[in-house]
């Protein structure tokens, strides 16, 4: 120990304590089992312990100030039996670690309350801080501009009424800039009177886990740091969104208010002081605010255990007759996947691929689709392929499901889960309804009709499902963009979907392909594909959409070859719960045979624009279900080009990604 630290601990704890620790640091590990003499020089008399516990703690001397982080880390290691020999810090004097823990809190509190000050920093608005469908997403260099992050966080706090003294949950997917952003957010939160913050170890928490923690802890809300499936790294993307008290993304009235505040903000408040240690579970004081660094994995695993039949899934994974692999794409779900599949469910080591979160996702694109999860696709479509494969995205809320040589579209996945929900313990008493985003295929609609439950069509963005879930109108929700979830939280949930599929497989004893083909046999097949034109010039793309908005006004009843237009509009949604209206949500062209063409500009990219074209054709004839999807949709692909003039507007001959 350094001199100032040793002298301060000696003054507060007693010289024997310091001597004992010094002997530990020099390697004196006594081995006599059960011999109290092994604690010689470390023991603190219980009377001393009690008197110190309840007596005022002196402030650290000025000379100690530069060493405070080291002191707090030292006490952390004692409390958690890390870094120092554990034998003399455990039973029978386990109260010693408790003493150190309380001492740590008192030192930190006394020091920080005296030395930390709230600063008010003058700033100017940025013109580009309008949240999209999933919060504010920009490149890392944009967020690193002076005051940019601070402005947006302060705008959130300025917008929320009654936030003083409340609890928030903070975490991110571990991408580049995550740790730095969290330290800034904590200091701004402390300066704005937040009472308590829960933050994940290393600042890493999956978006579904954040939603669960908000609900479990009755928190006021949460701040999620992620750009989801967008790439990371110093030149990659970063994102921030605010989740409300139900655990779901803030609705439009709140995000609109935040945006309005960003346009007039003139200052932000921030607490001065050193960063806190996020490396291990612990507790800190930032001014008057409590910060708890927590293990975010265990609560999530326990939540999944309450929904799914883990015993049955474990029997499947340990049977020796079933193989699976889970690709976390070096993103946030790695620790969760290890804990669930390899540790709790007994899957063989190596089941989880790319399970260590990396700031740049290993140089990859953490988007679970056939293009960006190509390594997993090659495994499932190669020789000796596993029976089941899955992938998740950057923040863990999306999923891709694969069988041997078989890809399950997200739209079909939602329909299959809806049809088989009764096989899962958490939904065995039935589901109240299902909801899908407008571009998602109508496959789930057909299941809902047979089950006699409602099916809701919402705009793109998980926030639109929140009211339906809160009101009990829907139990399962899904989006074509590889997102599925339920009323257990208020976010989509990638690992939840994987476990749902495994539960169905364990009960039915059939392959992924057999389950999906059986579903088509009963309900018909919705051939479906999405064509993405990424990073196209923004203005021509906007002009194309403006032209289509005018065109659809007169399309109803028109004939295009074998296709007759049944309806055409710029989708508008009226929330059945609160009556709120969301307009301009995408161009829909529906035909009398159930086919659809949809055009949307995505709100989740950070460079240029992404034009998404969705194509859907319904086929009830089982003899035609094996037709290649792109061939089955070719007439609609040609018609989408004819109506939209995509090549002319984008300058692209082919889509960037086809899923």
Question: Using only C-alpha atoms, what is the Rg of the chain?
Answer: 28
> Token pair of 325, please?
């692999």
- 502 near 388, Cβ under 8 Å? yes
Conformation bin of residue 379: beta by default, left when phi > 0, alpha when psi is -120 to 50: alpha
How far is 657 from 505, CA to CA, in rounded Å? 30
Three-state DSSP string of 19-77: HHHHHHHCCCCCCCCCCHHHHCCCCCCHHHHHHHHHCCCCCCCHHHHHHHHHHHHHHHH
**If DSSP codes are grouped into helix, strand and coil, which group holds residue 16?**
helix
Q: What's the chain's length in residues?
A: 659
How far is 418 from 145, CA to CA, in rounded Å? 45
Nearest CA-CA partner of 334 in 205, 478, 502: 205
Triad 230, 220, 203: Cα angle to 5°:
40
Tell me how far CA of residue 194 lies from CA of 19, 104, 178, 190, 221, in angstroms.
40, 21, 20, 6, 11
**228 catalytic per annotation:** yes
How far is 79 from 102, CA to CA, in rounded Å? 10
How far is 192 from 565, CA to CA, in rounded Å? 55
Q: What is the DSSP string of 336-405?
A: HHIIIIIIIS-PPTT-EES-S--TTGGGS----STTTTHHHHHHHTSTT--SEEEEE-TTS--EEEEETT
Nearest CA-CA partner of 527 in 445, 594, 613, 609: 594
From the candidates 226, 228, 328, 413, which is the catalytic residue?
228
How far is 466 from 251, CA to CA, in rounded Å? 8
Tell me how far CA of residue 636 lies from CA of 272, 407, 443, 595, 639, in angstroms.
59, 21, 18, 8, 5
Nearest CA-CA partner of 500 in 426, 432, 393, 398: 426
Task: Name the helix (H) or strand (E) containing 18.
Answer: helix 15-25
**If DSSP codes are grouped into helix, strand and coil, which group holds residue 314?**
helix
Task: Name the maximum alpha-carbon separation found in the chain.
Answer: 94
**So which residues are the catalytic ones?**
228
């Amino acid at each position: 120990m350094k001199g100032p630290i040793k002298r301060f601990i000696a003054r507060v704890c007693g010289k024997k304590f310091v001597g004992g620790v010094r002997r530990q640091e020099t390697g004196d590990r006594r081995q006599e089992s059960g011999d109290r003499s092994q604690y010689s020089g470390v023991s603190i008399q219980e009377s001393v312990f009690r008197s110190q516990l309840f007596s005022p703690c002196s402030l650290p001397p000025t000379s100690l100030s530069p060493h405070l982080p080291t002191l707090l880390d030292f006490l952390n290691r004692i409390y958690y039996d890390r870094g120092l020999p554990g034998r003399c810090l455990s039973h029978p004097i386990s109260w010693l670690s408790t003493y150190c823990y309380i001492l740590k809190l008192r030192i930190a509190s006394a020091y920080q309350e005296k030395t930390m000050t709230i600063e008010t920093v003058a700033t100017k608005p940025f013109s580009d801080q309008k949240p999209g469908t999933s919060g504010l997403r920009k490149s890392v260099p944009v967020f690193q501009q002076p005051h940019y992050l601070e402005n947006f966080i302060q705008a959130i706090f300025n917008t929320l009424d009654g936030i003083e003294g409340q609890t928030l949950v903070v975490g991110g997917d571990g991408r580049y800039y995550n740790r730095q952003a969290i330290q800034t957010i904590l200091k701004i939160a402390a300066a704005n009177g937040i009472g308590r913050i829960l933050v994940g170890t290393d600042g890493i928490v999956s978006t579904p886990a954040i939603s669960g923690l908000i609900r479990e802890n009755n928190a006021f809300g949460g701040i999620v740091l992620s750009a989801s499936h967008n790439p990371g790294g110093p030149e990659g993307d970063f994102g921030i969104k605010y989740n409300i008290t139900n655990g779901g993304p803030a609705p439009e009235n709140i995000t609109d208010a935040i945006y309005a505040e960003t346009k007039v903000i003139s200052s932000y408040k921030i607490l001065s002081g050193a960063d806190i240690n996020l490396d291990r579970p612990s507790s800190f004081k930032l001014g008057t605010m409590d910060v708890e660094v927590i293990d975010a994995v265990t609560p999530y695993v326990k939540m999944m255990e309450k929904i799914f039949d883990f015993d049955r899934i474990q029997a499947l994974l340990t049977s020796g007759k079933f193989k699976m692999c889970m690709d976390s794409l070096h993103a946030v779900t790695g620790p969760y996947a290890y804990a669930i599949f390899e540790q709790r469910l007994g899957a063989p080591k190596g089941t989880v691929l790319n399970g260590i979160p990396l700031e740049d996702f290993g140089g990859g694109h953490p988007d679970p689709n056939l293009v960006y999860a190509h390594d997993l696709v090659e495994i499932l479509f190669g020789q000796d392929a596993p029976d089941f494969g899955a992938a998740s995205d950057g923040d863990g809320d999306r999923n891709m499901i694969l069988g041997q040589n078989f890809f399950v579209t997200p739209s079909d996945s939602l329909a299959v889960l809806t049809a088989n929900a009764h096989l899962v313990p958490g939904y065995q008493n039935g589901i109240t309804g299902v909801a899908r985003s407008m571009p998602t295929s109508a496959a789930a609609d057909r299941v809902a009709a047979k089950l006699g439950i409602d099916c809701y069509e919402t705009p793109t963005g998980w926030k639109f499902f929140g009211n339906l879930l809160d009101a009990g109108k829907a139990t399962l929700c899904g989006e074509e963009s590889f997102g599925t979830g339920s009323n257990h939280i208020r976010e989509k949930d990638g690992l939840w979907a994987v476990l749902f599929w495994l539960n169905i497989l364990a009960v039915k004893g059939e392959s992924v392909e057999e389950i999906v083909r059986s579903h088509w046999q009963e309900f018909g097949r919705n051939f479906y594909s999405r064509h993405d034109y990424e990073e196209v010039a923004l203005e021509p793309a906007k002009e194309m959409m403006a032209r289509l908005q005018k065109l659809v006004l007169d399309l109803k009843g028109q004939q295009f070859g074998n296709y007759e237009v049944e309806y055409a509009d710029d989708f508008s949604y009226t929330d059945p719960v609160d009556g709120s209206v969301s307009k301009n949500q995408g161009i829909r062209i529906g035909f009398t045979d159930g086919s659809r063409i949809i055009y949307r500009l995505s709100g989740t990219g950070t460079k240029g624009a992404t034009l998404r074209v969705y194509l859907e054709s319904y086929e009830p004839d089982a003899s035609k279900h094996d037709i290649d999807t792109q061939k089955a949709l070719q007439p609609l692909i040609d018609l989408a080009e004819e109506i939209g003039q995509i090549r002319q507007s984008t300058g692209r001959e082919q889509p960037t990604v086809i899923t």
